[in-house]
């Protein structure tokens, strides 16, 4: 049993939950491939990428397989390094016009930090350096010091326990699974919460309509993080 004063662990997804890069993430993933590997003589067209809730690691595995690129550590690092350079530049030159922090997020994070003892972390398919570059760019870097990322494991369902272990190291608190809230905008975030026994919390600020997310029976469901601060705090008890 946990006491009422036990801090909760809140693990936030990034894209579609905290922010929208305005297409910069996808563009960086694609352009980095074309820059890093010569794909011109290869047969397949560059595929449509199913980014929603996918990890960067699984996207890379998919494309490496498609274009028969050796999945070596060296190739991965060359790719992710190119991706991250591109992401950093495009966020500045392109995303200032098209990207945005999602409504109510900054206010919610500020209240959680200033008015509660809850512990905030990231749980995202982004590689770690990309994750921090994105949240820093949209002025949320100060809220997050740890997380689990797409370069920790290609399977998002494996990321919950990694994030919880890091939260324990970071905060010195234990977090039973029922005190962990995983907040995201896709069915894959719900699956990831279920995989580690955490509470799934959905926000319909990414590509998925609220009705579609509600049909998955998450523990809590919000239209966005702007209008629902009261319910969000009520959820935490």
Q: Which residues bind Mg ion (CB under 5 A)?
A: 13, 15-16, 185
SS3 36: helix
Pairing between β-strand 19-20 and β-strand 100-101 as defined by DSSP bridges: antiparallel
Pairing between β-strand 220-222 and β-strand 199-203 as defined by DSSP bridges: parallel
Q: Which residue is nearest to Mg ion (CB)?
A: 16
19 CB contacts (<8 Å, ≥6 apart)? 99, 100, 101, 102, 105, 134, 135, 138, 140
Q: Which residues of 202-237 are buried (b: 16+ CB within 10 A; e: fewer)?
A: bbbbbebeeeebeebebbbbbebbeebeeebeebee
5 CB contacts (<8 Å, ≥6 apart)? 117
Would you say 16 or 99 has its CB closer to Mg ion? 16
Residue 56: CB minimum distance to Mg ion, A: 12
Residue 176: CB minimum distance to Mg ion, A: 25
Would you say 16 or 160 has its CB closer to Mg ion? 16
Would you say 10 or 69 has its CB closer to Mg ion? 10
Q: How far is CA 29 from CA 55, 77, 117, 196, 200, in A?
A: 12, 13, 36, 29, 28
Would you say 16 or 147 has its CB closer to Mg ion? 16
Would you say 15 or 228 has its CB closer to Mg ion? 15
Residue 21: CB minimum distance to Mg ion, A: 11
Residue 185: CB minimum distance to Mg ion, A: 5
10 Å Cβ neighbour count for 155?
Answer: 13
Would you say 80 or 208 has its CB closer to Mg ion? 208
10 Å Cβ neighbour count for 27?
Answer: 16
Residue 184: CB minimum distance to Mg ion, A: 5
Residue 124: CB minimum distance to Mg ion, A: 7
């Amino acid at each position: 049993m946990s006491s009422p004063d036990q801090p909760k662990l809140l693990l936030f997804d990034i894209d579609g939950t905290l922010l929208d890069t305005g297409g910069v993430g996808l563009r960086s993933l694609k352009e980095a491939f074309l820059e890093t590997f010569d794909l011109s003589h290869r047969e397949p067209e560059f595929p449509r990428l199913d980014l929603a809730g996918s990890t960067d690691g699984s996207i890379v595995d998919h494309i490496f397989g498609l274009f028969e690129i050796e999945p070596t550590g060296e190739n991965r690092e060359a790719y992710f390094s190119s991706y991250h350079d591109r992401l950093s530049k495009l966020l500045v030159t392109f995303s200032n016009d098209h990207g945005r922090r999602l409504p109510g997020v900054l206010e919610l994070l500020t209240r959680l930090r200033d008015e509660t003892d809850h512990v905030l972390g990231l749980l995202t398919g982004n590689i770690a350096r990309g994750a921090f570059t994105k949240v820093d760019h949209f002025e949320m870097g100060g809220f997050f010091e740890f997380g689990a990322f797409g370069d920790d494991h290609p399977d998002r369902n494996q990321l919950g326990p990694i994030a919880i272990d890091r939260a324990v190291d970071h905060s010195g608190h234990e977090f039973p699974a029922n005190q962990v809230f995983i907040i995201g905008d896709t069915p894959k975030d719900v699956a990831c919460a279920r995989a580690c026994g955490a509470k799934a919390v959905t926000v319909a600020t990414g590509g998925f309509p609220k009705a579609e997310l509600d049909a998955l029976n998450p523990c809590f469901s919000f239209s966005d993080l702007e209008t629902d601060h009261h319910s969000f705090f009520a959820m935490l008890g």
